[in-house]
């Protein structure tokens, strides 16, 4: 006969055993925008947390399953990293910027600055919201002055009639008759405070040859017509020459340098009376 006291005692033992086996904490294997490292969710194990890039742990990086079957401390959340609106440097304006959460920006969001007119930018125009919740280094905008450009010999220069010339101001150059520009006809005040180039005037070349077909910028042209007003400094033409043995033609290049065009020695100019002679430019190429 089993005594009721004994049954009660056995049932008490069972309860203790079951309680011992059920010291398990709630499932905590998923952390939104992060990851959880765990073995089991049972007492007395620890689990640890980390967040994906762009998020930070709001809370602790580990928690313990207690005897009571609860996590201590409570699991954290991964909250997005944000940057406050970027500070705007002096003499700059925001060209592209859109807050993406409330008034703030998210990790890796960008903002682009622009300098006020006549101010040059030093540094990167683009800043990025970093994992520290601040922006990458801001650029600087500075007023830049250029000296008045000097007039080239045998030429002229025009620039805005202002007391000072500033970044991005332009100056235009030209040359007197029979001279041509060596360099661009327009220059700009650079961020370094000098002009983008210093054009000068060079003498044009007078063409001493009366008649010749030459190649100029890939086209066959008559030299006397193409360069009626002289040839500009730096211009290049190719003359036709004859290879007598092989009865064929080849070309040689000549360039106008500061008033002088050295005609290739192989080039032979025919008298206009020598009509029976074939011009080199009409002979098949070698």
Ligand X SMILES: *[C@@H]1O[C@H](CO)[C@@H](O)[C@H](O)[C@H]1NC(C)=O
Query: Which residues here bind ligand X, judged by CB under 6 A?
Result: 58, 77, 79, 102-103, 124, 126, 128, 132, 134, 136-137, 192, 194, 196-197
Cβ at position 13, least distance to ligand X in Å: 41
Burial 235-256 (b: 16+ CB within 10 A, else e): bebbbbbbeeeeeebbbeebeb
For ligand X, the closer of residues 20 and 102 by Cβ is: 102
Cα separation values, 65 from 31, 45, 271, Å: 16, 6, 110
For ligand X, the closer of residues 125 and 252 by Cβ is: 125
**Helix/strand/coil for 144:** coil
Cβ at position 247, least distance to ligand X in Å: 51
For ligand X, the closer of residues 201 and 237 by Cβ is: 201
For ligand X, the closer of residues 75 and 230 by Cβ is: 75
Query: Phi and psi (nearest 5°) for 201?
Result: -105, 130
Residue 85 per-residue DSSP state:
P
Cβ at position 102, least distance to ligand X in Å: 3
Cβ at position 114, least distance to ligand X in Å: 14
Q: Which residues contact 57 (CB under 8 A, 6 or more apart)?
A: 34, 49, 50, 51, 76, 78
For ligand X, the closer of residues 190 and 243 by Cβ is: 190
Q: Which residues contact 260 (CB under 8 A, 6 or more apart)?
A: 205
- Here the tokens at position 283 are 């002979």
Cβ at position 83, least distance to ligand X in Å: 10
């Amino acid at each position: 006969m089993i005594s009721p006291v004994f049954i009660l005692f056995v049932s008490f033992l069972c309860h203790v055993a079951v309680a011992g086996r059920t010291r398990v904490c709630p499932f905590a294997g998923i952390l939104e925008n992060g990851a959880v490292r765990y073995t089991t969710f049972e007492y007395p194990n620890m689990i640890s947390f980390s967040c994906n890039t762009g998020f930070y742990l709001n809370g602790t990086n580990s928690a313990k399953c207690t005897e009571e079957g609860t996590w201590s401390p409570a699991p954290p959340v991964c909250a997005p990293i944000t940057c406050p609106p970027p500070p705007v440097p002096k003499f700059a304006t925001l060209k592209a910027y859109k807050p993406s959460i409330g008034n703030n920006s998210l990790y890796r969001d960008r903002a682009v600055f622009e300098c006020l007119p006549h101010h040059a930018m030093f540094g990167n125009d683009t800043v990025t919201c970093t994992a520290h919740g601040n922006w990458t280094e801001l650029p600087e905008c500075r007023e830049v002055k250029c000296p008045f450009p000097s007039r080239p010999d045998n030429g002229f220069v025009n620039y805005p009639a202002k007391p000072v010339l500033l970044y991005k101001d332009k100056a235009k150059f030209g040359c007197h008759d029979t001279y041509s520009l060596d360099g661009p006809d327009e220059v700009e005040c650079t961020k370094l405070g000098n002009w983008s180039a210093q054009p000068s005037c060079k003498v044009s070349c007078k063409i001493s040859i009366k008649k010749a077909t030459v190649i100029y910028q890939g086209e066959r042209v008559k030299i006397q017509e193409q360069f009626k007003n002289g040839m500009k400094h730096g211009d290049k033409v190719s003359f036709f020459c004859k290879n007598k043995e092989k009865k064929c033609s080849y070309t040689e290049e000549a360039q106008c340098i500061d008033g002088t065009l050295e005609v290739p020695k192989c080039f032979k100019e025919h008298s206009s009376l020598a009509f029976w002679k074939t011009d080199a430019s009409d002979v098949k190429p070698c």
